[in-house]
Chains A and B, each alone.
Chain A
Amino acid sequence: MSRVVFSTWRGEFVDNRGKPSDKWDESGFKLPETYDGDTKSKAFIGWDGVAIFHEDIDAVELASKYAAQYQEYSEACGRCAPGRWGGRILYDLLDKIARGEGTYDDVSHLKEVSETMMVTSKCEIGKTVPKPILDLMEHYKEQFDTCIEAQQPSKHYNGDTSYIAKVTAPCTDMCPAHVDIPAYIEGVRDMIFTDSLAATRQTMPLAHTCGRVCPHPCEDACRRANLDEPISIMELKRIGADYETDHALPWQHPFEVQPPRNDGKKVAIIGAGPAGLTAAYYLGIQGIHVDIFEELPVNGGEVAVGVPEYRMPVEKYNKDIQLVLDLPTVHIHNNHRVDAERLKEIDAEYDATLLAFGTRLSKKVRAANENPKMKGYWGAIAMLDKVNLWSKYGIGSPASNELKDKVVVCVGGGFTSMDVVRCSIREGAKKVIMLYRRDEKTIIRNTTYEEYHEAVEEGVEFIFHSAIEEIFDDGEKITKLKVNRFELVPDPNGGRPQLQKIEGADFEIECDYLIPAVSQSADLQLLPEEWNIELTSWNTILTNGRDFMSSRPGLFAAGDCEYGPMTIVNAVGQARRAASVISRYIYDGKVSLTDEEIMEDHLNKLKVYDKSEKITGWMPGLPRAVSEKLSVDERKDNNKEVNLGFTGEEAIAEAERCMRCYYISMVAV
């Protein structure tokens, strides 16, 4: 997969030194051979080994510079005795050797201090930094020996090699917003909750929201799972955010808010959902002028009008929104629909425009006689708009006018469909049925265990392996549905099992409402045709997924309108990157990434989490904390927040389970 001179990455051993180039073994990992564009990497060194791409590498300097990073990246260390002193000794001794002043005693001290660090350090940085250094000392021993014996500097000491480093963690890498998760968990452990919140907000302004409704992909990359159960990462995020609110503290910004630049540069953002708010935050905090254009009278996008109150109380979301809107250079324009004509004006007026309008069109279920105009046919987006605008803002009328004592069938399987059925219960529906093509396991994977479990508790009937074949109406409204049943048939050729219709198993459901929640699509009519904006095959705006510029220079896209319907945290991650690119683009007209971002992408490709790694030095079997939820009777007829959050004791216990899996990686170019 990668062409290397030498590699000890993740337990492999590749040594091509002295071999003819056609006999070279490859590394099995996607290592960053090329740093960026035409820039080749000389070496990559990190927590799990070292890979050399260039024969003429200065291994001594590489080791010493890697140890130096341990001092540079202060946020991750200095908090345990072995790490604090050991890290410094590592660097001092390696640099002494690299300068040409080292001795063999220094080598033995290096080994000894490395051993202590690897066994006793508080976090994984301390435990892992010595590993590639020891690898280099073993496999490039002759370079070390030369420096010591000849008392001469290493071969390219203080030469023109640049070293670019980045700290990450498996959870941080897996999080689409790359939140510094170990730092915010440490804030909880230290009970300095403001630090926890500030750590989150470095890359994630919606701390209240993503502390409540994030599907937490990070937890799938939690190393603690290799030992017992993953950390309850998401819920710990909420602690800092709630602390700020509970104590009426001023906004805990991660960096100092810069004064308005007033340099005439300005950025337009279409849509005040998670993506739009995030981009506005990271542009605004730098003092860049931002105008957000929002079609609805309320802010927050789909999270405001889609995600129900019991899951995401709007007063909490409003805190996240206010954090952004309180920035002096961020301006919001509500009830401002942007169509193609308006977008042309905006495009002409602003130095850059970010499209962040989401996917707000409900897709059809594709059944016979499907007529979206028929009474009883109610798209999920429209239905949730109605529920939420009334329950959160008092706009419109209650959906119970329509749903009370009615039979509701929803077709779906994702978060939106869960919101539909659970809201229907709360609006007083007599019977609520969810039809889903696949099985229980898949619905849990697509949403969360809690979400599914709570819906079942509240009385939602799930019918798996089912799909609507035909919709019946009486000319005025829907009356019943014909439903096919399927089964999973294994592929005799060993491929994926296929869903096959079970003949004769069809059945009918009498119902008043059919709510399709299969998926949503982007409403693209605001794109002027003559721009010929390139689209993806699923009709969203095409970008390269790294800098988020569309085919039109200066026009960027992030969130669901770029990716398709996805998570809040995905929208946040994309928008933060887009904001970073835009913040440079408006000055130099170039699309560029920072070293930090380039490294972020390399690590993401390489994959930081290793699910087969064996964990040592931690006590297994400490239970994962589970927050208390309102009981079914306490919650099913109202919009009270279901999840009560962690008690203090649970929060601290959970934070103490975190193993602080920080890693340093570094590329030499």
Chain B
Amino acid sequence: MGVHNSINTGKPITVTIDGKECKSTFGKTILEIARENDIYIPTMCYLTKVQPIGSCRMCVVNVEGVDGMILSCQEKAVDGAVITTNNDALFKERQNIMRLYDVNHPLECGVCDKSGECDLQNKTMEFNVDTQHFTARDQHRPVENWGYVSYDPSLCIMCEKCVRVSTEITGDEALKVKFGGYGSTIINVKKERNYASLGEAAAVCPVGALVQTHFKYTTNAWELEKIPSACPHCGGGCQMYYEVKQDKIYRVTNEFEFTNLCGAGRFGYDYANEGVTKDAQAFEAAVEAFKKADSVIFAPQISNEEALILQKLKEKLGFKLICHEARAYQKFMEAYAQVSGKHLYGGNLKDLSKSQGIIILGTRINNDSPTLKYHINMASKWQRARVAYMHPIEDSEMQHIVTQFIKYEAGSEEGAVALLAYTLLSDADIPDTARQALDDLDIGNLSAESNIGEEELEALRKSLLKRHGFSLVVGEDLYAHPRAEQIATWVALLERYAGFNVICVPPAGNAMGVSLVCDLDDTVEGKTVGYNVKGDFTLSALGNGDLDMPALNQQEGTLTTVDKRVVPMHVALPYGGYVLNDIANTLGLRAAYTIDYTAQLPEESGFKSVAFDDLPEYFDTVGNEHRGYLLGEKECDTQLNIEEVGELDTFDGAVIYRCNPENQFSPFTAKSPLLSEEAVLTGSQQFAAVTKLKEGDEIRFEVDGVTFTRVFRIDTAMKGTIALNPTFDMGLSASLLSSYRFSRLSFEKSNNDKIGNNDE
């Protein structure tokens, strides 16, 4: 039996638009088909990336044999339809709509942030509205400051794009329409949260109603130079523009019609290493340090090209090359490839957003990868997807998306994923070794140890019945797990034999790119050079090392994204000091510019031999992405080797989980003043009870050899005995914090009472 499709989506159709014969498929709207064929229909409320809104009515067209005017943005084209997109009557109605939009619209274009890129201005001109034709009594409507964004209701045309973005894309669900006829307005029902994701809602505003607060009244839009780039923070590599004037970034924008940018990308841009000049002495010392180094240790906030430079230096100088997060991910993916037969995971963002069933395992996804969360939210809204969230800690920010929370004990990830495989592969055609391994699982014991009830698994299995399109999103909790390779084996089985679209979310930064470019080592030895990590000699883009380096918004280069795409970054701000390529050239490599390495990225990892300047950077009229290129897929030898599930490490008592707050990923987001965020240890009431900590207590503890001094805060939305411990504020130590994400908490209060719960 085929996939249930009562609405005939995908059937080939032919329609005629303005005399042009257009072939397409059923399910597409008249407007979509027009755009596919470069036929212009004016709109004010249409936003490609969300479902049709239908509030402006500008896009009306005539269809032969159908009386009245048809809303082209919403109405699907039927086979044989003959459509006219423009004539005098249509022009007149569109002109009247523009006259209505212009009624009492404040004449403040001279100071409005949107002036010069305002849809209302543009359409007012296009439809020759030169006087106020209609009148209505004006109303007093004060401006509201919502934190990251501000809302001016008197400029608002109620297109509802921002509400759609808040609902369908970012999923913060903060913005709503307050109905009230002429008095209708947009309201923020979660003002207290000050969501940075509302920047995305502001991005789609066609007028000056919803704007970035910090940007207001700072410059005219047309004075800014748009520098296309990719966001380096979480590993999503989202498309962005730095908007720059006189060596200052005023704001970040994006191709909002087709793509999305989270709060970190939009507001976390101000981290450049500024005012640096060439310090020849420090440079000499750096070269010497490399020569003497036994190990080079670096943070994943690095371009593919610089990672390749380090790899080439390793080959030349023989040092150990260390990047903890990337190495863990690399090992995980190597084990994964042995089962899946491919060197990359099979999933991608588009398929994720079209899934009807999604399982999230081993990641606090709302914090770890906003773009993944957005795509899961899209599936939740568009497909009514069942979303199972498997994690030791519930996340209230995901409640409107998640349909089943499956809690497992910290440390029991291997058991959890084995149970998942057992549940989802029960009817699958799998190799005998895998079937044997499944049959050998002691389900009762695994269920008891992981605390996942068999009835929960049955409910999960049932919720996916008769559905089509499944995705599995796994994350960083798994990569540094002591049993990571075995976990990878189970996950890969689900991709290969249960048809799951799997995404192994890379750790923050460009860890995925690093894992594909570098031959990484496991342990640090001897003398070290650190790059954005504390070493015996430290290169730092944070400005506090032995030699300054440019930050990623001061560099050209490429990033590798979670969507398996290699995308270019451009220089937003100038940099006056030395760069890694200068060191490499001194040490015997030869390249005029760092980006000379772009075409040399390893083809055996799926990179293509394309020069940096030849990388495309655009979206076509219907939103297909042409940004850099997609990594090629390489076949790998397979070898299925499933071990018995290991003894579970127990995490009794108080536990901390390495997790940054929303919008924080690294010392670079920490440096960005607009994202000011307090770094505190956050736990539930229960955690407070177990640790005998009170709100505001300051404690000291150690993780991975790094000492933390943290204030404790209670979050009443949290449950359980696991607290969130951020690392973004840890500067050059942040990247050292890379072991398994959960750890037992043994701490001292600042008054030196030793209270570690496991040591009592």
Chain A residues with CB under 8 Å of chain B are 70-89, 92, 109, 112-113, 116, 119-122, 189-192, 239, 246-249, 614, 616-628, 630-631, 644, 646-653, 656
**Option from A70, A74, A247 in Cβ contact (under 8 Å) with B179:** A74
Whether B384 contacts A249 by the Cβ 8 Å rule is no
Check A625 against B6 for contact (C-beta < 8 Å).
yes
**A74:B184 contact, CB within 8 angstroms:** yes
User: Are the C-beta atoms of B100 and A81 separated by less than 8 Å?
Assistant: yes
Q: Which residue of A lies closest to B101 (CB)?
A: A81
Which residue of the partner chain, among A77, A82, A624, contacts B57 with CB atoms under 8 Å?
Answer: A82
Contact between A626 and B51, CB atoms less than 8 A apart: no
CA distance A85 to B381 in the complex (A): 30
Q: Which residues of B contact A649 (CB under 8 A)?
A: 7, 9, 382-383
Cβ contact of B75, chosen from A83, A619, A623, cutoff 8 A: A619
Is B136 within 8 A of A652, CB to CB? no
Q: CB of B716 within 8 A of chain A?
A: no
Contact between A652 and B135 (Cβ–Cβ < 8 Å)? no
Residue contact A74 to B183, C-beta cutoff 8 Å: yes
> In the complex, A647→B101 CA distance in Å?
36
- Contact: B180 with A116, CB < 8 Å? no
A192 to B384, CA, bound (A): 12
The answer, among B56, B81, B163, for a CB contact under 8 Å with A81, is B56
Residues of A near B217 (CB, < 8 A) are none
12 pairs across A/B with beta carbons < 8 Å?
A77-B181, A78-B177, A81-B55, A89-B134, A92-B136, A119-B68, A192-B176, A246-B386, A247-B402, A249-B399, A617-B70, A619-B81
In the complex the two chains form, is B179's CB within 8 Å of A75's CB? yes
Task: Report Cα–Cα, A659/B27, bound state, in Å.
Answer: 18
- Closest chain-B Cβ to A129's Cβ sits at a distance in Å of 11
Q: Which residues of A contact B163 (CB under 8 A)?
A: 190
Contact A622–B76 (Cβ < 8 Å): yes
Does B140 interact with chain A (Cβ within 8 Å)? no
**Is B172 an interface residue, CB under 8 A from the partner?**
no
Query: Nearest 4 CB-CB pairs, A to B?
Result: A617-B68, A78-B184, A616-B68, A88-B182
Q: Contact check, A644 vs B466: say whether CB atoms are below 8 A apart.
A: yes
In chain B between 1 and 44, which residues have their CB closer than 8 angstroms to a CB of chain A? 1, 4, 6-9, 27, 30, 44
Complex Cα–Cα for A89 and B384 (A): 40
Residues of chain A lying within 8 A (CB to CB) of residue B60: 119-120
**How far in angstroms is the closest Cβ of chain A from B641?**
37
A619 lies within 8 A of B7 (CB): no
Residue in A closest to B103 when the chains form the complex, CB atoms: A85
* Interface contact A650-B57, CB-CB below 8 Å: no
Select the residue from B60, B71, B385 with max chain A CB neighbours within 10 A.
B71
Contacts of B51 in A (CB 8 A): 189, 191, 652
Interface string of B437-465 (1 = CB under 8 A from A): 00000000000000000000000000000
| Other-chain residue from A78, A627, A651, A652 in contact with B182 (beta carbon distance below 8 A) | A78
**Smallest CB-CB separation from A78: which chain B residue?**
B184
Segment 365-385 of B: residues with Cβ below 8 Å from A: 381-385
Could you say which residues of chain B place their CB within 8 Å of the CB of A626? 6
A5 CB → nearest B CB, Å: 31
Q: What 1/0 flags go to B154-183 for Cβ under 8 Å of A?
A: 000110100110011000010011011111
Q: Which of A70, A80, A119, A651 has the most CB of B within 10 A?
A: A80
Q: B356 an interface residue at 8 Å Cβ cutoff?
A: yes
A648 touches B57 (CB 8 A): no
CA distance A84 to B4 in the complex (A): 40
B107 at the interface (CB under 8 A from A): no
* With A81-B157, A618-B70 as contacts: A190 and B167 at CB distance below 8 Å: yes
How does the 8 Å CB contact mask read for B71-106 relative to A, with 1 for contact and 0 for none? 100111110010000000000010011001101000
Contacts A122-B57, A622-B78 given; does A647 touch B69 at CB 8 Å: no
Contacts of B180 in A (CB 8 A): 74, 78
Q: A623 contacts which chain B residues (CB < 8 A)?
A: 6-8
User: Smallest Cβ distance from B690 to chain A, in angstroms?
Assistant: 25
Q: Which B residues are in CB contact (< 8 Å) with A112?
A: 96
A236 to B9, CA, bound (A): 19
Proximity string of chain B (334-345) to chain A, C-beta cutoff 8 Å, 1 when within and 0 when not: 000000000000
Residues of chain B lying within 8 A (CB to CB) of residue A628: 4, 6, 466
- Cβ proximity bits B267-283 to A, threshold 8 Å, 1 near / 0 not: 00000000000000000
Q: Output the least CB separation between A315 and chain B (Å).
A: 12
**B753 part of interface (Cβ distance < 8 Å):** no
Q: Which residues of B contact A650 (CB under 8 A)?
A: 6-7
Contacts of A614 in B (CB 8 A): 67
User: B66 near A: Cβ within 8 Å?
Assistant: yes
CA distance A569 to B644 in the complex (A): 56
Most buried by B among A76, A246, A626, A630: A246
Whether B466 lies near A71 (C-beta < 8 A) is no
Asked if A618 meets B75 with Cβ closer than 8 Å, knowing A80-B55, A627-B6, the reply is: yes
Which residue on B lies nearest to A90, using beta carbons? B136
> B574: CB under 8 A from chain A?
no
Residue of B nearest to A619 (CB): B75
Point out which of B136, B381, B383, B399 has the most chain A C-beta atoms below 10 A from its C-beta.
B136
Give the docked Cα–Cα distance between A646 and B356 (Å). Answer: 12
Nearest chain-B residue to A88 (Cβ)? B182
Q: Are A621 and B93 in touch, CB under 8 angstroms?
A: no
> How far, in angstroms, from A626 to B7 measured CA to CA in the complex?
8
Q: Contacts A620-B66, A650-B6: A87 and B167 contacting too (C-beta < 8 A)? A: no
With A87-B182, A113-B134 known, 8 other A-B pairs at CB within 8 A are A80-B54, A81-B97, A122-B55, A190-B163, A247-B403, A620-B78, A631-B1, A648-B381
A191 touches B381 (CB 8 A): yes
**B642 part of interface (Cβ distance < 8 Å):** no
In the docked arrangement, what's the CA distance between A78 and B153, Å?
A: 14
| Chain B residues within an 8 Å CB radius of A646 | 384
Rounded to whole Å, the gap between the CB of B676 and the closest CB of chain A is 32
Q: From residue 454 to 509 of chain B, which have CB atoms closer than 8 A to chain A?
A: 466
**Contacting A82 at CB < 8 Å: which of B70, B97, B383, B403?**
B97
Which residue of A72, A82, A624, A625 contacts B100 across the interface (Cβ within 8 Å)? A82
**Nearest CB in chain A: distance from B754 CB, A:** 40
Give Cα distance in the complex from A614 to B416, angstroms: 59
Residues of B contacting A247 in the complex (Cβ-Cβ under 8 angstroms): 399-403
In the assembled complex, which residues on chain A have CB atoms less than 8 Å from the CB atom of B69? 119-120, 617
Establish whether residues A92 and B100, one from each chain, have CB atoms under 8 Å apart when the complex forms.
Answer: no
Which A residues touch B382, using CB under 8 A? Answer: 191, 648-649, 652
CA distance A616 to B65 in the complex (A): 11
Question: In the bound complex, how far is the Cα of B168 from the Cα of A626, in angstroms?
Answer: 24
A652 to B30, CA, bound (A): 17
Interchain CA distance A508-B164 in the complex, whole Å? 64
Chain A CB count within 10 A is highest, among B57, B69, B93, B400, for B57
Q: What CA separation (Å) do A669 and B162 show in the bound complex?
A: 43
Most buried by B among A70, A622, A627: A622
Docked-complex contact A656 and B52, CB < 8 angstroms: yes
Check A70–B381 contact: CB distance below 8 A. no
Q: From residue A414, how far is it (CB to closest CB) to chain B in Å?
A: 27
Is B244 part of the contact surface with A, judged by Cβ < 8 Å? no
Q: How far is the CA of A88 from the CA of B134 in the complex (A)?
A: 10
A37 to chain B, nearest CB (A): 32
**Residue pair A647, B383 in contact (C-beta under 8 Å):** yes
**Chain B positions 509-565 with a Cβ under 8 Å from a chain A Cβ:** none
Whether A70 and B181, one on each chain, are in contact in the complex, defined by CB atoms closer than 8 angstroms, is: yes
Which chain B residues (170-201) contact chain A, with CB distance < 8 Å?
Answer: 173, 176-177, 179-184
**Chain B nearest CB: distance from A449 CB in Å?**
14
State A81–B181 Cα separation when bound (angstroms).
Answer: 10
* Chain B residues closer than 8 Å to A652, beta-carbon distance: 51, 382
Which residues of B have CB within 8 Å of A249? 399-400
> Closest chain A residue to B133 by CB distance?
A109
Q: State the CA gap A419–B57 with chains docked (Å).
A: 47
Query: What residue of chain B has the Cβ atom nearest to residue A190's Cβ?
Result: B167
- Are A116's CB and B402's CB within 8 A? no
Contact A79 B466 (CB under 8 A): no
Which of chain B's residues have a CB closer than 8 A to the CB of A87? Answer: 181-182
Note all chain A residues with C-beta closer than 8 A to B164.
190
Do the beta carbons of B135 and A92 come within 8 Å of each other? Answer: yes
